[in-house]
Copies of this chain bind each other. A is one copy, B any other.
Amino acid sequence: MYDELRHSVCGANLLLVKYKLVTFTWGNVSGIDREEGIIIIKPSGVAYEQLTPEKMVVLDLDGETIEGELRPSSDTATHLELYRSFKSIGGICHTHSPKATMWAQAQSGIPCFGTTHADHFYGTVPVTEIMTMEEIDNDYELNTGRVIVRRLEGMDPVQMPAVLVANHGPFTWGRDAITAVENAVVLEQIAETALGTITIKPEQNAITQALLDKHYLRKHGKDAYYGQK
């Protein structure tokens, strides 16, 4: 069952390899079918070369396995928390891609230094707070989801489809699993250019609100005019 979603989530996981976002098995992508009340996610620690739609794990929103013989990704509880809180998203991606991870490890958000960023993320890509010892010791993966949700408070997750988990790495999302991966690709590139930008000019400011609005809205607003309708 859930053949179409199995295929698209499996394909999205394989895109991580194509876009060079992962080393070994360090990444996972999931997708949700809200009508059916299930998510599909990569099995834990399985090599991408061996991934097939059949091996994907189907879970309900409480994390109970419905179909699949393999254990789901160890980050499943994080994905579930995000799906429960961000009703508008359909796919989630987590990687340890190097450039985004540099900013996460520096506990620093990525300022919007240019239009490449503004085309995809509506402002600074936020970084979560450091997790407390209590949050780490019990229900760590669930609490990872919670610190993300807390950090996104007041933002529209559609307009800000990325976060950096402090000391860890990026999570991205989107309307489906493939879009979540594409946002991870964009995030990696803007993380790289932002690093170069502050190397050239450490005190560089973010772009103006006018330019941010222009670029974000020409691609995403109701009057968007980028691409073929």
Contact = CB atoms under 8 A, between A and B. Distances in A.
B169 A228 contact: no
30 contacts: A23-B186, A23-B189, A24-B185, A25-B227, A43-B228, A44-B227, A44-B228, A45-B226, A45-B228, A46-B227, A71-B227, A74-B218, A99-B196, A101-B116, A102-B193, A102-B197, A103-B196, A103-B200, A105-B113, A106-B197, A106-B200, A107-B201, A108-B201, A114-B168, A114-B169, A130-B208, A133-B208, A137-B210, A167-B211, A195-B199
Interface string A51-66: 0000000000000000
Nearest to A194: B105
Nearest to A69: B228
Contact of A169 (B74, B116, B229): B116
B226 A74 contact: yes
Interface string A123-146: 000000011010011001000000
Interface residues of A, number: 61
A211 B136 contact: yes
Contacts of A168: 114-115
Given A116-B101, A167-B114, A136 B197 contact: no
Contacts of A131: 211
Contacts of A229: 71
A205 to B, nearest CB: 9
Contact of A192 (B98, B133, B186): B98
B193 A105 contact: yes
Q: Which of A71, A196, A197, A226 has the most CB of B within 10 A?
A: A196
Interface in A187-225: 189, 192-201, 204, 207-208, 210-211, 214, 218, 225
